[in-house]
Structure 1
Amino acid sequence: MHAKQCTTLSDTGWAAFSSGSTGSPRIILRSEASWSSSFAAVTELMQLQSTDAVYLPAPLSSSLSLFSVAHARAVGAAIVLPNSHGFDPADLAHATVVHGTPHALGTIVESLENGQTPHRMRLAFVGGAHLDIALRRRAEAEGVRVVSYYGAAELSFVAVDTDGLGYLAFPGVEVRVNSGTADAGSGDEGPADAGPGDAGTLTPGELWVRSPYLASGYLTSSYLGSNGALRHAPGGWASVGDLVEVDSTHRLHFRGRLDGAILTGSATVVPEDVELALRSIDGIEDAVVLGIPNASVGALVAVLIETTPGGAMPTARSLRTHARSRLIPSHLPRRWYRTDHLPRTLSGKPDRDAVRRAIDNGEVTRLE
């Protein structure tokens, strides 16, 4: 690729890949200040010092790891990289902090729980996907404090949860929520005058943010498309189409992306809501929910579950019984599939496109 083909390089300090969890990764451009301006807040949240060593299990091509390299070097902390492609308990020998996804934290906690892994780990800084409260408590039981955050490669940090009670706006971030989630609009109208003032309604809406941490946009050329989730609006606001609810304590509850909702019959089903409920069923380690086209209702709610290693093989009937106590009828999966290991991106997020291909190609077991 030639530099002259790019749309903007004038103030670009960093170029990082999006996760690719819902499609092909995109190259995101941002200024040096869009990251460095958050260093002080992140340092405070992590209580990071020059004597710390930060373990980065995700590939260095990911924005999560690339940010951590820049941040750790600014503080003077050491970087610990994996010894191999997969997790090795020996990686933890010198690390005091880990910055990674919930999947990476789960692998680390499992290793700590067996009592055979010497470590000095004091804190996990976790982002990239939903963190189950049970995993947070398991980490804390092993002496690892957990700070989780929500962010997007295009927006950087948006919200943070330091105690497991829910997400609050990240320091330096303003949030607004458009009421009415069914139509994301053209993106030109920007955020409505909702948000914290409407807290307590639990009305879902599209999240817009304003902060010094926003990316400039995407790398575009004759070889790369410019389509991406990031939209800018007047006044410095930006959105990637996240669906959120705001409760009476001003905490944000993330409900997925507007463009990922499943329309089935007269209902709109947000996959993340169903996935959260299903993960609470014994024997289900993780779940990815998607819509399968259907001529009668538009789409059928389907799910691919990752089952607990060594556990009994579940049946669709038993899973439906458990699911009925957790979900309203319109949100119940109509088709159930299982696998030993969900397809994941290099950073550890479930790869939704790969899940769809695996189901379409008959590569996973359908439960009857």
Structure 2
Amino acid sequence: MAGARARRRARRAGARAVIVPVRGDTAGLLNRLGALRAAGDVPLVGDERWPQAHRDAVQAIAGGTEPPADAAWATLTSGSSGSPRIVLRTAESWSASFAAVGRLMDAGPDDAVLLPAPPAASMTLFSLAHALGGGPRPVLGSADRSRASCLHGTPQALRAVLDAGPPPGLRAALVGGSHVDDALRARAADAGVRVCGYYGAAELSFVAVDEGDGLRAFPGVELSIRDGELWVRSPFIALGYLGPGGPLRRDGDWATVGDRAELVDGRLRLLGRADDAILSASATIVPEEVEAVLRAVPGVRDAVVFGLPQTRVGALVAAFVELDGTSGGAGARKSLRAASLTRLAPAHRPRRWYAGELPRTASGKPARAEAIRRARAGEVDRLGV
């Protein structure tokens, strides 16, 4: 064992994080990732849609800092709450969950997993690592989707697949990134697709899983609530960051990224990040709670709730909603008004409404920071509710 560690350290001398361009077919990408791993380098998959300034910033971090000896993979945080960061993790921090993920998707090496998000997304890179470790074969981009038996993506991605007509053999979907609403789960079930939702983070990997009766601890994970903040102990936690740090904090074997939550009868209820809370007059509003109400309104695809600074009261609650193509207009406004009046306390009701297509991260999650910027800058339409 000591000799193996010494050989690994020797191979790792001068190791670097390498940005991998996405060119050619999936097999070629897997071969490049496998070769970099075999050489002891740390792959970080790029995205051709990155602005040049973003690409230069990532390259400066990747080229200017040597990763620790046990780093095997590098991913970017989604950027849903601000600037992306490079997260480093060991090979084992992902491979330890492969068996559980395979069971949840009922998929093995003879199956194919549809990956709607680009390879730069953490969830897709996980599935590529899983494929290298004997998991289902990845189906990326414009590849033939008809052979896919499972999907790993966001609720938005699952909805798009259902809209387009799911592959005939699709039987399971592992869905993360944001909450899976009951309507989407029921629609998937009608199409013969079993949905397994999960909560995770780039720094924590899988944390909790929802097979239809609420979020419970993912196999091998322990959960604890400390002063309203979720802490996790598991073998899936990342090493930390390459370059500038982020929200990951540790206390021995436990770690947190600052998500607020509560545990009720063994089920996890997420309440958003502490720094997302809106202080309005004497009330503290958790955006996640208001967003859940708005997403349940017919015709609303998604919603982002945030605060608009206001003298005397602190902030006004505002909502940026994305409406579907068939339920917009007066009907949606009437339904939103009714939901606000009947399901939200007065302090929680949005006072400003915006409507449009929500900006999204590479994986398909709402890009909160950019959505808020656009609304505050007047770049999206006001909605009269």
Is 1:229 aligned to 2:282, yes or no? no
Are residue 57 (structure 1) and residue 116 (structure 2) matched? Answer: yes
Shift of 1:287: 0.9
2:32 aligned partner = none
Q: Is the 8 A contact 1:48 1:75 kept in 2?
A: no
- Give, in angstroms, the shift of residue 42 of structure 1: 1.3
Q: Confirm whether residue 142 of structure 1 aligns to residue 201 of structure 2.
A: no
Provide the C-alpha distance between the structure 1 equivalents of 2:120 and 2:205, rounded to a whole number of angstroms: 15
Q: Distance in 2 between matches of 1:290 and 1:271?
A: 6
Alignment deviations for residues 106-146 of structure 1 (CA, whole Å, 9 cap, x no partner):
1111222xxxx652101101111111111011101100111
**Residue 139 of structure 2 is aligned to residue 92 of structure 1:** no
Show CA shifts across 1:186-207 (max 9, x none).
xxxxxxxxxxxxxxxxxxx100
- How far did residue 316 of structure 1 move? 5.8
Aligned residues: 324
Matches within 5 A, 1:187-202: none
Kindly provide the amino acid, as one letter, of the partner of residue 327 in structure 1: L
1:166 aligns with 2:219: no
C-alpha distance in structure 2 between counterparts of 1:161 and 1:99, whole Å: 14
Q: 1:190 — aligned with what?
A: none
1:282 and 1:3 map into 2 onto residues whose CA distance is: 45
Structure 1 residues 317 and 294 mapped into 2: Cα distance closer, same or farther (>3 Å)?
farther
Distance 2:167 2:135 in 1: 24
In the TM superposition, residue 311 of structure 1 has moved relative to its aligned partner by 3.0
Match of 1:218 among 238, 241, 244: 241
2:364 to 348, 357, 360: 348
* TM-superposed deviation, 1:331: 0.5
Aligned AA (2:82)? G
Structure 2 SS opposite 1:148: strand
Q: Secondary structure at the match of 1:304?
A: strand
Q: Which residue number corresponds to residue 232 of structure 2?
A: 209
Q: Using CA pairs under 8 Å that are at least 6 residues apart, name the structure with larger relative contact order, 1 or 2.
A: 1
- CA gap of 1:311–1:333, structure 2 versus 1, over 3 A, is same
Match of 1:280 in 2: 296
Greater shift, 150-159 or 277-286, is seen at 277-286
Tell me if structure 2 keeps the 8 A contact 1:154–1:215: yes
Q: Is the 8 A contact 2:298 2:335 kept in 1?
A: no
> Which residue matches 1:17?
76
Offset of 1:147 from its aligned partner?
Answer: 1.0
Partner Cα distance (1:5, 1:118) in 2: 44
The 1:2/1:351 distance shift into structure 2, 3 A limit, reads closer
With over 3 angstroms needed to count, the CA separation of the structure-2 counterparts of 1:102 and 1:318, relative to structure 1, is closer
Q: CA deviation at 1:76?
A: 4.7
Amino acid at match of 2:149: T
Letter in 1 for 2:247: A
Aligned to 1:191: none
1:7 and 1:291 map into 2 onto residues whose CA distance is: 39
Are residues 125 and 333 of structure 1, via their aligned partners in 2, closer, same or farther at CA, if it must alter by over 3 Å? same
Aligned residues: percent identity?
52
Cα distance in 1 for partners of 2:302, 2:342 equals 18
Out of 53, 59, 78, the position equivalent to 2:137 is: 78
3-state SS of paired residue (2:236):
coil
Give the Å deviation of 1:77.
2.5
Q: CA deviation at 1:29?
A: 0.5
Maintained 8 Å contact 1:54/1:72: no
1:319 to 327, 332, 336: 336
Match of 2:88 in 1: 29
Partner in structure 1 of residue 321 of structure 2: 305
Give 1:51 deviation, angstroms. 1.4
CA contact (8 A) 2:181 2:296 kept: no
**What is the TM-score of this pair, normalised by structure 1?**
0.84
- Residues 92 and 120, structure 1, Cα contact 8 Å, conserved in 2: no
Select 2:128's aligned residue among 69, 79, 94: 69
Aligned with 2:132: secondary structure? helix
Q: Which amino acid aligns with 1:67?
A: F
The equivalent position to 1:42 in structure 2, one of 96, 101, 104, is: 101
The offset of 1:91, in angstroms, is: 4.6
With normalisation by structure 2, the TM-score equals: 0.80
Say if 2:351 is the partner of 1:334.
Answer: yes
Instruction: Report the CA distance between 1:312 and its aligned residue.
Output: 4.3
CA pair 3-310 structure 1, distance change in 2 beyond 3 A: closer
Q: Secondary structure at the match of 1:243?
A: strand
Q: 8 Å contact 1:92–1:121 — kept in the other structure?
A: no
Contact 1:316 1:336 in 2 (8 A): no
RMSD of aligned Cα (Å): 1.8
* Equivalent of residue 287 in structure 2, options 264, 268, 271: 271
Deviations 1:282-335 (A, max 9, x none): 222211101111111111100011112133413867633331111111110011
Displacement after TM superposition at 1:5 (Å): 4.0
State the AA in 1 paired with 2:123: L
Q: What is the one-letter code of the residue matched to 1:152?
A: A
Distance between the aligned counterparts of 1:356 and 1:70, measured in 2? 34
Aligned equivalent of 2:374, options 355, 358, 361: 358
Partners of 1:241 and 1:279 in 2: CA distance: 24
Deviations 1:188-228 (A, max 9, x none): xxxxxxxxxxxxxxxxx1000011110011111xxxx32x1
In the alignment, structure 1 segments of 5+ residues that lack a partner are: 84-89, 180-204
Match of 2:275 in 1: 259
Structure 1 residue 359, shift from structure 2 partner: 1.2
Once residues 66 and 262 of structure 2 are traced to their aligned partners in structure 1, the CA distance between those partners, rounded to angstroms, is: 35
Distance 1:174 1:67 in 2: 21
**Pairing partner for 1:130 from 179, 187, 190:** 179
Match of residue 102 from structure 1:
155
